Structure 1
Amino acid sequence: MKVEIWSDVMCPFCYIGKRRFESALAEFPQADQIQVEWKSFQLNPQMKTEPGRSINDYLAETKGWTPEYAQQVNDQVTNMAAEVGLEYNMDKAVLANSFDAHRFLQFAKTKGLGDAAEEQLFKAYFTDGRNTADHATLIELGTAIGLDAAELKAILEGTRFSEDVRRDIYEAQQVGARGVPFFVLDRKYAVSGAQHTETFLGALQQSFAEWEKANPKPLVNLADGANCIIDGQCD
């Protein structure tokens, strides 16, 4: 059964949601039958990459907050992340347009490395304070998970996988995603936000039960012996 997850690199709740969903999968007996696909979403397509600019200043400007309130919000999110074992260093976060990071993800997906790429991007942004729009950084992250550096460099210098990113963003609109993280299970059920593990587990159980009924496993024939078939012949 497929679970599609729309997310953006700069979304703090997406990384937290990833960990909580992973915890739910760890408790789910049929986890080996779940196929997870990461999907692209841009919270701010017009964002300029501005290394050195405070994320608190950015939030204050875009949301109408004071820098002090933005700091409070980031502190709360940092504490929430710590509860699931993540280290957020929001003071080090580099404001970066995520489009090329999503192209990096799309390429990684073609190699079966979508989840690994998503993990690298989140850690780079929230923990390590890396510039996730910088091509050299993305190539370093890619080689760390087994992508070919030369191929990735050529992709980033061109426009490949741009349409894949745009297609995911369009699909998000079609399935009703207005924010991220947004989880779609078997294209039937949706879970919005970084829900608690119990919520994800319940969603997995409900959607998988229905999926399993619609996709019964063929019987495994353990032994052949003498029998009679429909036309009456026996052997």
Structure 2
Amino acid sequence: MKVEIWSDVVCPFCYIGKRRFDQALEHFEYTDRIDIEWRSFLLNPDMETDTEATINEHLSTSKNISIDKAQQMTNRVKTMAAKEGLEFNMDKIVVANSYNAHRIIQWAKTHGLAHKAEEVLFEAYFTAGANIDEIDTLVDIADQLGLDTDKARNILTGDKFTNVVKHDFQTAQGMNIRGVPLFLFDRKFVVSGAQETKTFLSALKQGWNNWLEKQQKIQDADVDGIICGPNGNC
């Protein structure tokens, strides 16, 4: 069964949502038969990377709120993340455009490493305070994933996987997805936001049952369509 996840690596709730979803997978009986597909989403596609601004200054400007209000927001997110065992160093975050990071994820996807790439990039951004728009940083992340660093640099200095990122983003817009994370189970059941683990587990079970029903109908249709011979004998 396929689970599609629209996410942005600069979204704190996407990281928290991933952790809770991973916890649900640990309690799901058929995890080995779940096909997870990470989809790119850009919260701020036109944002310029600013290594001088703090995350609170960025939020204050982009959301037209006070620094104090921004601080309260980041404190709440940090506390929420800590409950899931995640370390958010909000004061170390480098305000960065995530477009190139998504290209690395899409490349990693071709090697079956998208899930791991998401985790490594989330940690780099929220915990390590790395500039995820910097080529050297992303090449290092590719190395952590066991990918070819020379090829990573060639990808980042060119335009490979640009169309894939754009396609995912446009698909999301066409589906009226305006916020992330968004989890789509078997193209039918949706979980929006960083919901509790039990919510993800319930969606996995619902999606799985729906998927099984569809597979049974396909099998029944195949049996009904069998032609054995001129006399109907098999």
Q: Please give the TM-score of this superposition, normalised by the length of structure 1.
A: 0.91
What is the deviation of 1:175?
Answer: 2.5
Q: Specify the alignment match of 1:181 in structure 2.
A: 181
SS in 2 for 1:146: coil
Q: Specify the alignment match of 1:172 in structure 2.
A: 172
Q: Specify the alignment match of 1:97 in structure 2.
A: 97
SS in 2 for 1:215: helix
- Separation of aligned partners in 1, 2:171 and 2:189: 15
- Separation of aligned partners in 2, 1:30 and 1:112: 19
The one-letter amino acid of 1:35's match is: D
- Separation of aligned partners in 1, 2:167 and 2:50: 26
Cα displacement string for residues 53-76 of structure 1 (whole angstroms, at most 9, x for unaligned residues): 111011011111110111111011
Bigger radius of gyration: 1
Q: Specify the alignment match of 1:222 in structure 2.
A: none
The one-letter amino acid of 1:42's match is: L
- Identity, in percent, stands at 50
SS in 2 for 1:4: strand
SS in 2 for 1:204: helix
SS in 1 for 2:112: coil
What is the deviation of 1:190?
Answer: 1.2
SS in 2 for 1:132: coil
Q: Specify the alignment match of 1:134 in structure 2.
A: 134
SS in 1 for 2:39: strand
* CA contact 2:189–2:206 (8 Å) conserved in 1: no
What is the deviation of 1:231?
Answer: 4.2
Report how many aligned residue pairs link the two structures.
221
Q: Which segments of 5 or more consecutive residues in structure 1 lack a partner in the other structure?
A: 219-229
The one-letter amino acid of 1:139's match is: V
Q: Specify the alignment match of 2:223 in structure 1.
A: none
The one-letter amino acid of 2:213's match is: K
Equivalent positions of 1:1-235 (< 5 A) are: 1-216=1-216, 231=233
- Separation of aligned partners in 2, 1:173 and 1:73: 26
What is the deviation of 1:23?
Answer: 0.8
Cα displacement string for residues 106-140 of structure 1 (whole angstroms, at most 9, x for unaligned residues): 11101111011111110000000000000000000
RMSD: 1.4
What is the deviation of 1:199?
Answer: 0.7
The one-letter amino acid of 2:12's match is: P
- Separation of aligned partners in 1, 2:199 and 2:139: 36
The one-letter amino acid of 1:163's match is: N
SS in 1 for 2:96: coil
Cα displacement string for residues 133-159 of structure 1 (whole angstroms, at most 9, x for unaligned residues): 000000001111111001111000000
The one-letter amino acid of 1:82's match is: A
